[in-house]
Amino acid sequence: MSLNIPTLHNIEAVKTETEEVKTFTFQSPEIVKESKPGQFVMIWSPGIDEIPISIANASLEGEVEVAVADVGDCSHSLHQKHEGDQVGLRGPYGRGFTLIGERICMVAGGYGAAPLRFATKRAKELDKHVVVLEGARSSAELLYIDEFKRMGCDIRIATEDGSEGYKGTITELLEEMLASGERFERVLTCGPELMMERVCGITSRAKIPTQVSVERIVKCGCGACGSCDLGGHRICKDGPVFDAEALVGTEFGRWKRENSGKRIAITPDAGELLSIPPLHFTPEYEPVLATEVCGINFPNPIANAAGFGFSGKLLHRYAVAGAGAVVTKSVGLYEREGYPNPTFIEIAPRSYVNAMGLPNPGIKDYGLEIGDAKYADVPLMLSIFGKSVEECRVVAKIAIKYPIDMLEFNASCPHSDFVAVENHPKLLRSIIKEIREIVHPKPIAVKISPNVGDPAGLAMTLEKAGADAITAINTVMVRPIDHTLDMSILGNPTGYGGKSGKDLTVGGKKIVFDLYEELKIPIIAVGGIFSAEDVIDYAKNGASLFQVGSALVTEEPGFFSVLKKELKEYIAIKGYKNISELVGEAHRR
């Protein structure tokens, strides 16, 4: 895939399909080349937002078609556009459908017909028999029926008002078809979540393997932020297409998340918005990697970085995959939606800029995630933020009631309108003193960035104020511009974002070296860790714990285990007894 950043494309054609849905056509051989049915693209309406939309068709001539329903700000702005207008496109993203079996049934509701149109096209190219079931309230809402006909599919229609085909719902029709003896080797479904949940119930009873294309709030689109979580799966990277069995035991069909990550019921009778708890997990004790920092025993010193993973279930998954600790999203006193998209872009290979805007449900509602994460027996660091002593006091008082092991105070978010309190050292000192008093004896790390001129000087002040550790570094402030439109690419009002990834590796290591010269308290390294060599360099420069962030865009959670294995090999080859022996070695030469 080329760089993960919106690229301007002309709209080649716009076709009104129904009262709510229009099809947009773009010329993009790059996207076509990589597209699989079920994948999606991100469409940027400059100045408004960027939204995920499934690929409805990808042609040999390099054309990409998408069907957009007019439901809110961004989709509405797209509906106002005409042939020749420009929008940004990037992708394709996610995992698509698997076209196994000779007789496949597509069950579509609403614009769910779009990805199934593309899946049908590929299935027909593979000579499969495709039966399409499409449901709508009335015939006027049916989408792509002519396209399905042109592809030679066996089409069955259900409308709730009986204006076309079977009178009733598509799931009633499916049930009747199966009861009358029709058989399929596979069912693929896309549409409203409750419809898909019913489809899964029916096909599970009939023992038909089924795949489901799900929707959640997508922000980064590539696995970084965790906003699109469904039961610990990031639908933008691990989905959006899932085997139905993978969704059993998740909130699928019961609740989803708002932009802030807060849980919200899908049905009025959803009950309490709880997760089915993950399995209890205890990590293996590995003497060469086990580390004690701030009085806490870490099974190994590698964690995720704050903001890479939102849900407790994803953090639990990181622990099972080998992380020796987990760090939450930064959470404040109040619920925050975060900024409009684009919130995450790639400006050079594996160098990213984000302006998420600290989406979080507020500390009171975050306890549900901590509860899920604590099914893994690894230390949990709760990342918090706040703009005043009073606000931070309340956050800390709530935080300390949760089963956390350590706090990390995010003093350095460069793109938020207010939370780079590192720029106000006097205020930050007061905040840290206050929080420390509340949470003691639980330790508190303070996270700083290079955006302050003298990180080592600031860290010394924070050590005096009672910080138990310093986490370095947060992202570096930049402002990416789209030169054609002459405007900032990021969706936040200022256009400022924080750079992460490869561009931080070298500078981050230097800052940790400088901090170690001045501090007595431990240092937690973060910034451009992509390999065991990076961990080793950071350790020798003075860090005791290590957080992995941007690497998780391209790596799977199993990356934690890869790092551990390579560290153990290095430690064995070089004859160290334990990773702690590496800490600060560069200063002892």
Ligand X SMILES: Cc1cc2nc3c(=O)[nH]c(=O)nc-3n(C[C@H](O)[C@H](O)[C@H](O)COP(=O)(O)OP(=O)(O)OC[C@H]3O[C@@H](n4cnc5c(N)ncnc54)[C@H](O)[C@@H]3O)c2cc1C
Ligand Y SMILES: Cc1cc2nc3c(=O)[nH]c(=O)nc-3n(C[C@H](O)[C@H](O)[C@H](O)COP(=O)(O)O)c2cc1C
C-alpha closest to that of 407 among 376, 385, 430: 385
Residue 23 binding target from ligand Y, ligand FES, ligand X, none, CB below 5 to 8 Å by type: none
Contact stretch for ligand Y (CB under 6 A) within 21-29, 98-106, 217-225, 318-326: 217-225
Give the nearer residue to ligand Y in terms of CB position, either 223 or 231. Answer: 223
Site string for ligand X, 23-62 (x = CB under 6 A): -----------------x--------x-xxxx--------
Question: How far is Cα 348 from Cα 565, in angstroms, rounded to an integer?
Answer: 29
Residue owning tokens 């849980």: 263
- Backbone phi, psi, residue 428, to 5°: -60, -40
The H or E element containing residue 196 is helix 193-205
Of the pair 218, 435, the CB lying nearest ligand X is at 218
Rounded to the nearest 5 degrees, what angle is found at the Cα of 32, between the Cα atoms of 199 and 148?
45
Residue 512, φ and ψ in degrees, nearest 5 = -60, -40
294 an active-site residue? no
Contact call for residues 433 and 494 (beta carbons, < 8 A): no
509 touches which of ligand Y, ligand FES, ligand X, none (CB within 5 to 8 A by kind)? Answer: none
Q: Does 344 bind ligand Y (CB under 6 A)?
A: yes
Q: How many Cβ atoms are within 10 Å of 391's Cβ, its own excluded?
A: 17
Residue 224 CB, shortest distance to ligand FES, in Å, is 5
CA distance 527 to 456: 16
Residue 69 touches which member of ligand Y, ligand FES, ligand X, none, C-beta under 5-8 Å by kind: ligand X
Q: Which residue has the tokens 């691990």?
A: 238
Positions in 109-168 near ligand X (CB under 6 A) = 111, 114
Query: Which two three-digit tokens encode residue 370?
Result: 């901590």
Shortest Cβ 552–ligand Y spacing (Å): 8
Nearer to ligand Y, 4 or 203 (CB): 4
Least distance in angstroms from the C-beta of 283 to ligand X: 33
Q: How many residues bind ligand X (CB under 6 A)?
A: 22
**Rounded to whole angstroms, how far apart are CA atoms 29 and 61?**
7
Q: How far apart are CA 562 and CA 519, in angstroms?
A: 31
Q: How far apart are the first and last CA of the chain?
A: 43
230 contacts ligand X (rule: CB under 6 A): no
The answer to whether 302 and 546 have CB atoms below 8 angstroms apart is yes
Stretch that binds ligand X, among 123-131, 137-145, 210-218, 313-321 (CB under 6 A): 210-218
Beta bridge partners of 243: 211
Q: Which of 18, 75, 275, 488 contacts ligand X by CB under 6 A?
A: 75
- Residue 526 interacts, among ligand Y, ligand FES, ligand X, none and using kind-specific CB cut-offs from 5 to 8 Å, with ligand Y
Residue 383 interacts with ligand Y (CB under 6 A)? yes
- Cα–Cα distance measured from residue 64 to residue 29, given in angstroms and rounded to the nearest whole number: 8
Contacts with ligand FES in 212-241 (CB under 6 A)? 218-221, 223-228, 234, 236
Q: Which of residues 521-550 bind ligand Y (CB under 6 A)?
A: 526-529, 548-550
Interactions with ligand Y, residue window 319-338 (CB under 6 A): 329-330
Q: Which does 51 bind (CB under 5 to 8 A by kind): ligand X, ligand Y, ligand FES, none?
A: ligand X
* Least distance in angstroms from the C-beta of 316 to ligand Y: 18
Residue of 336, 447, 509, 564 that binds ligand Y (CB under 6 A): 447
Could you tell me if 511 and 541 are in contact, meaning their C-beta atoms sit under 8 angstroms apart?
no
Alpha-helical (H) ranges within 180-230 are 193-205
Calculate the CA 35 to chain-centre distance.
20
Q: Does 445 bind ligand Y (CB under 6 A)?
A: no
Side chain identity, residue 271: G
Q: Are 388 and 428 in contact (CB under 8 A)?
A: no
Sign of CA dihedral 356, 358, 364, 367: positive
Least distance to ligand FES, CB of residue 93, Å: 9
Please tell me the distance from the alpha carbon of residue 370 to that of residue 383, in angstroms, as a whole number: 11
Establish if 67 lies at the interface with ligand X (CB under 6 A): yes
Q: CB nearer to ligand FES: give 43 or 583.
A: 43
# residues near ligand FES by CB under 6 A: 12
Dist CA 129 CA 420 (whole Å): 58
- Could you tell me how far CA 413 lies from the centroid of its own chain? 18
- What residues make contact with ligand X under the rule CB under 6 A? 40, 49, 51-54, 66-69, 71-75, 111, 114, 215-218, 240
- What residues make contact with ligand Y under the rule CB under 6 A? 220, 224-225, 305-307, 329-330, 344, 352, 354, 356, 358, 383, 410, 447, 474-475, 500-501, 504, 526-529, 548-550
Catalytic machinery residues: 413
- What residues make contact with ligand FES under the rule CB under 6 A? 218-221, 223-228, 234, 236
